[in-house]
Chains A and B, each alone.
Chain A
Amino acid sequence: MYDHPLIGDPHSVVLSVAGLCKSYSRVVAVEGVSFDVHRREVVGLLGPNGAGKTTTINMILGVLSPTAGSVRIGGIDLARERAHALASVNFSAVYASLPGNLTVTENLRFFGLVYGIPQLGRRVAELLRQFDLERLRDTKCGLLSSGEQTRVALAKALLNRPRLLLLDEPTASLDPAAAQTVRTRIRSLAVETVCGILWTSHNMYEVEEVCDRVLFLSHGRLLLEGDPRRLPREHGAATLEELFIRLASEPLAKPLESAG
């Protein structure tokens, strides 16, 4: 079992997903997924390709509506108060790069206004400093390396000081050194701020290093949940990677046609 100090405290819940389902005509992508994320907690959303991780994240971001179930962010129902709920969320994903035809500063100012950030100039300067982007402030994002683009995306993701941060494979295109820097930064974010983080990754080493808790998704269903450092032992596996491979290859009792 997992024993994060804030679990059980209803006021600490930044994300509450209940009975989330998404189906496309005959194809079921996500089925009955429920979980919470607490503040100062990093939760890993794991699963093989097509397990429904990105579909789940898209539903939490409000760019995909669920077939059934609910998403509450800081207690606010996303379906009823979309703009209010999304004001305290932000995200970074490898497949959602920032407009390459704007410079780093232009992108941060643009998204800062869209999020309605007060004292935007000061906030942008803080983030440029925090992510070591001052040298690149006037460089167009399309000209940056993968590592630099990841840092800009993370700076954008922190513009509104989110209560909930969604990171979809944030280190996927980074070299080991850059990935380590990003992991350290994000881990310290969870400690220094009050945000909860939902993180997807295929790198089990980094999941063990960063995540307080993992959720294992397969064929659109939540199969396992727990501490990534204890789960392998509890399920007779030597490592988290071995457990991942075993769970990913297990057929379900009620197979689904596909997952997105």
Chain B
Amino acid sequence: MRMKPVAGILLRQFYLLRGSPVRSLPMFAWVAIDIVVWGFITRYLNSMTAGRFNYVPSLLGAVLLWDFFTRIMQGVSTAFLEDVWSRNFLNLFATPLTISEYILGLVITSVATSMVGLAVMLVLATVVFGLSFLSLGALLVPFLLVLFGFGIALGILASALVLRLGPASEWLVWPLPALLSPFVGVFYPLATLPRWMQTVGHLLPPSYVFEGMRAALAGRSLAAGNLAVGAALAALDILLAAHFFARVFRFAVATGLLARYSAESAA
């Protein structure tokens, strides 16, 4: 893999962000609003229970981790959609750029943009609402890594779906995180769910993060094996998503979909 083309993909996104407030603002505005809304909800809930239970770590912490995951996913798919919106596929894919270089460029872009959102969320949640992520200790690192991995996988999958189904399908992929959220127990234990939803949840890496977070906050011991399963699933999902993207790309090249992308169909 050559790093110059990867740097090219990254530089292009930097140029777009630098020159466009409508692109840079959502990197932190929506997550900040989420933290503010949920911060006040947790304050209200705390006042209702007269301090018997502190909702800040469990609710606000869950919101922060979930927002981080969705930002990662959207970071990858938005970077891909920039090429859809500017009808850049012919110019881009008639170059020596390989699919792995392209995907790595999208992933690094997403990491860079998501870190901005994460920093804003952490500052707001800590300074304004007293959330102490340090209470999670070293566990925060694997939690973020698992969510990061699955966010990357879902972003690549979303990009592959848009490539396969055409530009209008972007409206199908934006709600993907919301579709998964009931299964991964962001705000409640998986045991709350019916059996079939629990089965689906166990296949999704974020479930292990949120279960682990609740266990750690409740002072229960965390089964390291569970988190390792989550990490392994996230790594597997990245490989599967990248493989799926490569298959869709080959299909698009074989059928003429790539050359006539705006038609949304090769037929």
Contact = CB atoms under 8 A, between A and B. Distances in A.
Interface of A: 24-25, 55, 58, 61-65, 82-84, 86-87, 89, 91, 93, 95-103, 106, 109-116, 156, 260
Given A62-B94, A113-B11, 6 more contacts: A61-B90, A64-B259, A84-B96, A86-B96, A96-B87, A113-B8
Contact of B4 (A99, A116, A156): A116
Contacts of A156: 91
Given A24-B267, A110-B12, A62 B93 contact: yes
Given A24-B266, A102-B15, A116 B94 contact: no
B11 A116 contact: no
A109 B87 contact: no
Interface in B43-87: 82, 86-87
Nearest to B10: A113
15 contacts: A24-B267, A63-B89, A84-B96, A89-B94, A98-B91, A99-B86, A101-B16, A101-B19, A101-B20, A110-B15, A114-B4, A114-B8, A114-B95, A114-B96, A115-B5
Contacts of A114: 4-5, 8-9, 92, 95-97
A113 B266 contact: no
B18 to A, nearest CB: 9
A99 B16 CA distance: 10
B254 interface: yes
Nearest to A106: B15
Nearest to A25: B267
A64 B4 contact: no
B169 interface: no
B130 interface: no
Interface string B79-123: 000100011111111111110000000000000000000000000
Given A106-B15, A113-B8, A114-B9, A91 B94 contact: yes
A95 B262 CA distance: 11
A182 B88 CA distance: 23
Contact of A86 (B15, B89, B94, B259): B94
Nearest to B255: A24
Contacts of A98: 88, 91
Given A114-B92, A114-B97, A62 B11 contact: no
A58 B90 CA distance: 9
Shortest beta-carbon contacts, A-B, top 5 = A113-B8, A61-B94, A99-B86, A96-B90, A114-B8
Most buried by A among B8, B19, B20: B8
